[in-house]
């Protein structure tokens, strides 16, 4: 039996320091060849002699009362850790450039073969020789943010603060349906251009959405660089070509505008005929004149304002009385999509429509909800009314947003240049010049009047 004996195993390498073994005691007899010690990893282990680790050696290693290690005699630091439970794992131990002892588990025996584990150990030893610390680097990688973390921060810190309501909804929808399911568990620093291109190809049937996903990811990765989640100039979206989108240029012709005018007038005065199916016949009123319904009056006024202003639906339904100056003929509309409202010249037709609206005594909205005046009318009500209007006017492919296209087209045909039209429709920009020019409102009012007169003539069926 050995008592008060000190042994020292010295590994002659630039990346391994001495491991001093003290307080050796016999564990299970001299014939077992295993001695118990305290090593530099600060826990008690049994240290065996140093065989060449092979499958036969691994299979023959039996569990003991304490964990112990069999070190390989060829690859320094490579060893087999045997736990009392019988679990056997391959490890590699080294000292980093700062002299700290590191022990990295390579994997369990069974999941790894001896040769695979030895190859991994050799690679790690080679990295250590170059000054790297593989274990510390792996810990940093594990702690690095995932894509789901980046997208959460992108939505809260950027989209919610800098984008409009519609973009906020769309960005969350695309993130939830496409981005997080594909990239959510990946590390931000690990997403490659081929990963992004693969998602873009998978969405080729919906090119507009595919391109919007690219735009969202591009901005998110740009912010990731700013926030220190990725190296600078590493945006994986860069260089991926967008799909060509079919730009819709639908606007109302004079004949279509006439049909719309007749339908709107009929809806306001007489109501629209019911859409009757065969199954409804036994429930119909006997009087044919009663087979009509009057659409929501506020919805009809909203549709008229959309047609005369070229505004977006969200901008009109959220109009407040504080946004209206009838004396000056001004409506406060966002100067850019999703931006703050500023006074905008309106035609006399717009002023006339607004004057006809009955102001609710307890609501700030031009178009409050009937059941809850504290909230403005919903977009769904307007869309539902428009479906009925366009059906009876035989405008089956015309969307509400095409009324905005109609205003833009008429403005161009009336001689308006791109600069005036950009301000009329409040586009974000056409050229950088728009940032420095403060246009007089009179030309915009003039062109707005011209468009209003033409639309009114069209609605009345006048050429």
Classify domain 147-226 at the CATH topology level.
DNA polymerase; domain 1 (1.10.150)
Provide the 10 A C-beta neighbour count for residue 180. Answer: 16
Q: Angle at the Cα of 337 (from 333 to 338), degrees rounded to 5?
A: 85
Residue-averaged pLDDT of the chain: 80
Classify domain 7-141 at the CATH topology level.
Double Stranded RNA Binding Domain (3.30.160)
Distance CA 272, CA 393 (A): 11
Among 270, 411, 287, 298, smallest CA distance to 354 is for: 298
Among 340, 294, 237, 304, smallest CA distance to 455 is for: 304
What is the pLDDT averaged over residues 320-331? Answer: 92
* Each residue's pLDDT tens digit, 223-265: 999 998 899 999 999 999 999 876 667 888 889 999 999 999 9
Percent of the chain scored above 70 by pLDDT? 78
pLDDT at 46 over 70: no
Distance CA 397, CA 169 (A): 25
> What confidence category does residue 5 fall into, taking pLDDT thresholds of 50, 70 and 90?
very low
What is the pLDDT averaged over residues 355-373? Answer: 91
What is the pLDDT averaged over residues 71-86? Answer: 90
pLDDT at 77 over 80: yes
What pLDDT, on a 0 to 100 scale, did the predictor assign at position 51? 77
pLDDT at 73 over 70: yes
CB of 60 closer than 8 Å to CB of 82: no
What pLDDT, on a 0 to 100 scale, did the predictor assign at position 393? 93
Report helix, strand or coil for 138.
helix
* Each residue's pLDDT tens digit, 422-460: 777 766 655 432 333 334 455 677 778 888 888 888 888
For residue 63, the 8-state DSSP code is: -
Domain with CATH 3.30.160.390 in the chain: 7-141
pLDDT at 288 over 60: no
Of 185-194, 286-295, 317-326, the range with the lowest mean pLDDT is 286-295
* Each residue's pLDDT tens digit, 112-164: 999 999 999 988 888 888 888 777 667 666 667 899 999 999 999 999 998 87
What's the chain's length in residues? 463
What pLDDT, on a 0 to 100 scale, did the predictor assign at position 145? 86
Q: Give this prediction's pTM.
A: 0.52
CB of 254 closer than 8 Å to CB of 409: no
Which range is most confident: 75-84, 173-182, 405-414? 173-182
Domain with CATH 1.10.150 in the chain: 147-226
Q: What is the CATH architecture assignment of 254-277+288-459?
A: Orthogonal Bundle (1.10)
Kind of pairing between the strands at 78-82 and 68-71: antiparallel
Kind of pairing between the strands at 68-71 and 44-47: parallel
Distance CA 346, CA 344 (A): 6
Domain with CATH 1.10.443.10 in the chain: 254-277+288-459
> What confidence category does residue 276 fall into, taking pLDDT thresholds of 50, 70 and 90?
low
């Amino acid at each position: 039996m050995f008592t008060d004996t000190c042994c020292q195993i010295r590994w002659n390498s630039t990346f391994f320091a001495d491991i001093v073994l003290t307080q050796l005691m016999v564990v299970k007899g001299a014939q077992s060849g295993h001695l118990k010690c305290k090593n530099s990893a600060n826990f008690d282990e049994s240290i065996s002699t140093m065989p060449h680790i092979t499958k036969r050696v691994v299979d023959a290693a039996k569990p003991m009362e304490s964990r112990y290690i069999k070190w390989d005699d060829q690859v320094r630091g490579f060893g087999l850790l045997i736990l009392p439970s019988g679990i056997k794992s391959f490890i590699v131990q080294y000292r980093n450039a700062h002299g700290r002892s590191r022990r990295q588990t390579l994997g369990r025996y069974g999941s790894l073969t001896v040769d695979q584990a030895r190859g991994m150990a050799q690679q790690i030893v080679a990295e250590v020789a170059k000054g790297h610390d593989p274990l510390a680097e792996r810990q940093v990688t594990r702690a690095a943010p995932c894509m789901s973390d980046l997208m959460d921060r992108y939505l809260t810190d950027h989209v919610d603060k800098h984008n409009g309501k519609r973009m906020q909804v769309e960005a969350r929808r695309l993130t939830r349906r496409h981005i997080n399911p594909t990239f959510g568990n990946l590390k931000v620093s690990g997403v490659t251009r081929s990963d992004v291109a693969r998602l873009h190809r998978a969405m080729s049937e919906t090119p507009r959405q595919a391109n919007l996903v690219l735009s969202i990811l591009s901005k998110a990765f740009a912010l990731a660089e700013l926030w220190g989640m990725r190296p600078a100039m590493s945006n994986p979206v860069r260089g991926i070509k967008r799909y060509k989108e079919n730009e819709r240029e639908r606007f109302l012709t004079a004949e279509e505008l006439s049909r719309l005018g007749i339908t709107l007038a009929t809806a306001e005065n007489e109501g629209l005929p019911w859409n009757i199916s065969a199954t409804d016949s036994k429930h119909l009123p006997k009087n044919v004149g009663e087979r009509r319904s009057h659409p929501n009056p506020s919805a009809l006024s909203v549709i008229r304002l959309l047609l005369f202003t070229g505004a977006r639906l969200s901008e009109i339904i959220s109009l407040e009385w504080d946004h209206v100056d009838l004396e000056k003929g001004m409506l406060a509309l966002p100067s850019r999509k999703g931006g703050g409202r500023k006074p905008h010249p309106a035609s006399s037709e717009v002023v006339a429509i607004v004057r006809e609206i009955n102001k609710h005594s307890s609501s700030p909205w031009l178009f409050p909800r009937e059941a809850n005046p504290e909230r403005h009318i919903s977009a769904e009500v307007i869309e539902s009314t428009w479906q009925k209007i366009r059906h009876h006017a035989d405008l089956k492919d015309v969307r509400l947003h095409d009324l905005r296209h109609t205003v833009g087209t008429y403005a161009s045909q009336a001689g308006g240049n791109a600069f005036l039209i950009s301000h009329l429709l409040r586009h974000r920009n056409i050229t950088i010049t728009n940032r420095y020019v403060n246009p007089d409102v009179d030309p915009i009012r003039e062109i707005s009047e011209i468009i209003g007169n033409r639309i009114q003539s069209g609605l009345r069926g006048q050429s």
